[in-house]
Chains A and B, each alone.
Chain A
Amino acid sequence: MTKPVLELRGIQKHFGALKATDNVTLKVEKGEIHALIGPNGAGKTTLISQIFGDLVPDLGEILLDGNIINNASVSDRALLGIGRSFQISNVLMDFSVLENAIVAKISQTRETFRFFRPAFSDPRLIDGGLSILKKVGMEHMSNRKVSDLAHGERRLLELALALAMEPLLVLLDEPMAGAGPVDTISMTKVIAALKGDTTILLIEHDMDVVFELADRISVLVEGALIASGRPDEISNDKLVREAYLGSDE
C-alpha cells in the first residue's frame, strides 16, 4: 500500500477553552478528491490552516508524503508540495492573468534571485505561464488585468496558481464561495478534470458539488471528525444526517 499524501494524526488545537480541532485523524490518499464538510463553525478553516502552516497544532502530527511537517513555514510547505486556493480570492490584483502565472512559474523554477534579465519577456517563463493557464482553460484571456476579471474567473486563476507548483496536495478552501451558478458549473468541470492526477482536499459548502466531485468525504462537527467514507456511505450515515444534513423526521 502506498503512503497517503496527507496524514493527520491526532491533531488538536485549542483557543482558550474552545476546542477548535478535537483529535482529528485523517488520511488523504494519492489521486483522490477528499471533501471536508461540516456546518458553519465546525472548525474547517482552523483545520486546514494547520495543514497549510498558518496555525500550529497544540498536539498531533501532520505528515505530507510520510514526512512530519509540523514545524515547516508556510512557504516551506508550499515548496514541499502544498498548493492552496484561499476562501477569499487571493491573486495578484495589479498584475495581468499571464503575469500572475509567470510569477508562479518563477517560484516553481526557484531561480528567484535574478536581478538583471527581464522576467515578463522571457519566452521560457511565458510558455510556462501559458501552460499553467491552459490547465484551467484561461490561456485566451492571458493579457487581461486581474482587476477586470469576473469573480469566477479570479477563482479559476487562483486554482491555476495553486496547481502551478505541481503540488502533491491541493487545498481548495470553498472554491465555489460567492460564485454564480454558471461559474460553479465551469469550476466543477475543471476540478473534475483534475481527478486522478491531482490529490485534492476540498472544503465546500455546496453539497451538490461535494457529492459530484468527492471520492471520499469527511465530516467535521465541533472540531471532531464524526464520519469518513464514500459519498453514499456518508449520505446514509445516521450521525451525519442528524448533525449536519438535518434529519428527515
Chain B
Amino acid sequence: MILDLLKKFTTLWVILVLFAIFPIFTNLLDLPFWNDVVMRIMLLGMAAMGLNIVFGFGGMVSFGHAAFMGIGAYCAGISQYYGIDNGWYQLLLSVLICGVLGVVIGFLALRTSGIYFIMITLAFAQMLYFFVVSLEQFGGDDGLIMDRSDFIFIDLYEPLRLYYLIFFTLAIVSIMLMLLIRSRFGVILQAIKSNENRVEAMGLNPLKFKITGYVISAIICGISGCLFASWQEFVSPDIMHWTRSGDLMIIIILGGLTYLAGPLVGAIVFLLLEEFLPDLLHIIMPSIAENWMVIFGPLLIVVVLFGKGGLMGVLDARFKIGFNKVKT
C-alpha cells in the first residue's frame, strides 16, 4: 500500500522530501532566514490542503477557513495566557474546538450552496473575527505576545525543532489525505461534487458527507493555526482576517484544486512571490516596488485563465509524467 501511494502521489512526495532536506542547504549556506520562509509555506500549505478537501474535492467554496486557523492559534495563545504551555494539549484543544465549530457551522452553512454558501461561511468567519477582536483581556486588536509552546521532549527553542515539528505534522496530514481521498468516503465526496442528485438517488445523504468533509478541513486548519502561533510567537486577529481566507483560496487555485499536491505547490509559489517580488522589483522597476501587487495580481489572473487546473494542471499537461489527480 505504501508503494502504491508512492507511485500515485509523486509530486507530493517530492515536495515533502525537499522540505525534509531543505535545512541542510540553509545550514551549509548559512541562510537561516530561509527556514522561516519555508515554515510559513508549510503552515499555509497545510491549511490550504485542509481547505481543499471541501473546496477542490467537495466543490464547496468556503470563504472563511482562516477563522479555523485563528481558532487554532488562539487555543495556543489563550492556553498559554493561563499558564498552560503544553503544546500537545493546545493542539488537542484546537482539534476539539475546530471540530465542534466545524460541525455547527457546517450543519448550518451546508444547507445552502453556491453564492449563499460563500456568503454564509464568510459571515461566520467575520463573526469569529470580531469576537476575537472584542476579547480585550487577550489583547483584542493588538493580539497576544506568546512564547513557543512547550512540546514535551521537543524544545522548540533548539534550532530546527519547530521546523521539523511543522514538517512532520504536514507529512502526517499529507499521508492521511492521500488515503482519505481515495477511500470510499473520499470517492463519495468527489461524486457529490460531480453530481449531487445522482448521489442522492443512490441512497446516500450528501449532507452527512459534506459536513464530515467540512469538519476534517476545519480541524486541519486548526492544527495549522495552532503551530502558526508558535512560529509567529504572537497571536492576533490578523491571522483570521478574511483576506487570509482569500489567500488560502488563491493558493489552491494557483496550485491546482483537483490535485492533492496543488495547495502545496500554490503555497510555495504564492509565498515566494510575496516574499521576493518586492525585492526583485526594487532592482528592476523601483517606481512600482511599493505596489508589487500590481504585478502579482495579473500574474495570478494569467495562471488561472491559461493554466486550466492551476500550476499542477500546466505541469500535468506539459509533461504527462503521471501527476495524479486526486480521484484515482
Contact A115 B191 (CB under 8 A): no
Flag the segment in B67-75, B144-152, B178-186, B262-270 that touches A. B178-186
Flag the segment in B91-99, B194-202, B239-247, B277-285 that touches A. B194-202
Contact B180 A116 (CB under 8 A): yes
Q: Does B223 have its Cβ within 8 Å of any Cβ on chain A? A: no
Interface-central residue, A73, A93, A104, by most chain B CB under 10 Å: A104
Contact B187 A102 (CB under 8 A): yes
Chain A residues within an 8 Å CB radius of B212: 113
Which of A52, A83, A103 is the one whose CB lies under 8 Å from B187? A103
Q: Does A90 have its Cβ within 8 Å of any Cβ on chain B? A: yes
Contact A165 B202 (CB under 8 A): yes
Q: Does A153 have its Cβ within 8 Å of any Cβ on chain B? A: no
- Report if A75-B197 is in contact (Cβ < 8 Å); known contacts: A115-B180, A116-B183, A120-B182: no
Which of B180, B184, B201, B328 is the one whose CB lies under 8 Å from A111? B184
- Report if A165-B203 is in contact (Cβ < 8 Å); known contacts: A92-B198, A99-B327, A115-B180: yes
Which of A75, A78, A107, A119 is the one whose CB lies under 8 Å from B183? A119
Chain A residues within an 8 Å CB radius of B197: 86, 90
Measured between C-beta atoms, what is the minimum distance from B195 to chain A in Å?
A: 5
Bound: A114/B185 CA distance, A = 6
Measured between C-beta atoms, what is the minimum distance from B7 to chain A in Å?
A: 12
Measured between C-beta atoms, what is the minimum distance from A38 to chain B in Å?
A: 23
Interface contact tally, CB-CB below 8 A: 106
Contact A94 B328 (CB under 8 A): no
Contact A118 B194 (CB under 8 A): no
Q: Does B16 have its Cβ within 8 Å of any Cβ on chain A? A: no
- CB closest residue in chain A, given B187: A119
Chain B residues within an 8 Å CB radius of A111: 184
Chain A contact residue count (CB 8 A cutoff): 38
Contact with A along B181-223 (1 / 0, CB 8 A): 0111111101101110111111111100100100000000000
Q: Does A79 have its Cβ within 8 Å of any Cβ on chain B? A: yes
Q: Does A217 have its Cβ within 8 Å of any Cβ on chain B? A: no
Measured between C-beta atoms, what is the minimum distance from B200 to chain A in Å?
A: 5
Contact B198 A91 (CB under 8 A): yes
Contact B179 A116 (CB under 8 A): yes
Bound: A121/B205 CA distance, A = 24
Interface-central residue, B4, B200, B202, by most chain A CB under 10 Å: B202
Bound: A164/B199 CA distance, A = 12
Contact B203 A78 (CB under 8 A): yes
Which of A79, A84, A112 is the one whose CB lies under 8 Å from B184? A112
Contact B194 A120 (CB under 8 A): no
Measured between C-beta atoms, what is the minimum distance from B207 to chain A in Å?
A: 9
Interface footprint category on B? 20 to 34
Contact B198 A161 (CB under 8 A): yes
A96-133 residues at the B interface, CB under 8 angstroms:
99, 102-104, 106-108, 111-121
Bound: A76/B207 CA distance, A = 13
Which of A78, A104, A107, A115 is the one whose CB lies under 8 Å from B179? A115
Bound: A79/B194 CA distance, A = 21
Chain A residues within an 8 Å CB radius of B327: 94-95, 99, 120
Chain B residues within an 8 Å CB radius of A103: 187-188, 191, 199, 202
Bound: A113/B185 CA distance, A = 5
- Report if A78-B184 is in contact (Cβ < 8 Å); known contacts: A92-B191, A115-B179: no
Bound: A205/B180 CA distance, A = 44
Chain B residues within an 8 Å CB radius of A234: none
Chain A residues within an 8 Å CB radius of B188: 103, 106-107, 112
Contact with A along B314-328 (1 / 0, CB 8 A): 000000000000011
Which of A95, A106, A113, A114 is the one whose CB lies under 8 Å from B194? A95
Contact with B along A68-83 (1 / 0, CB 8 A): 0000011110110001
Interface residue ranges, B against A (CB under 8 Å): 4, 179-180, 182-188, 190-191, 193-195, 197-206, 209, 212, 327-328
- Could you name 29 residue pairs across A and B whose Cβ atoms are closer than 8 Å? A52-B201, A73-B205, A75-B205, A75-B206, A78-B201, A78-B204, A84-B201, A91-B195, A92-B191, A93-B195, A94-B327, A95-B190, A95-B327, A103-B188, A106-B188, A107-B202, A108-B202, A108-B203, A112-B184, A112-B188, A113-B184, A115-B185, A118-B4, A118-B179, A118-B183, A120-B327, A121-B4, A164-B202, A165-B202
The 7 closest A-B pairs by CB, nearest first: A78-B203, A118-B182, A79-B203, A107-B202, A114-B184, A92-B194, A119-B187
Given contacts A75-B200, A117-B179, 16 further A-B contacts (CB under 8 A): A75-B204, A78-B201, A78-B202, A91-B198, A106-B184, A106-B187, A107-B204, A108-B203, A111-B184, A112-B184, A115-B179, A115-B180, A116-B180, A120-B182, A120-B327, A121-B182
Interface residue ranges, A against B (CB under 8 Å): 52, 73-76, 78-79, 83-84, 86, 90-95, 99, 102-104, 106-108, 111-121, 161-162, 164-165
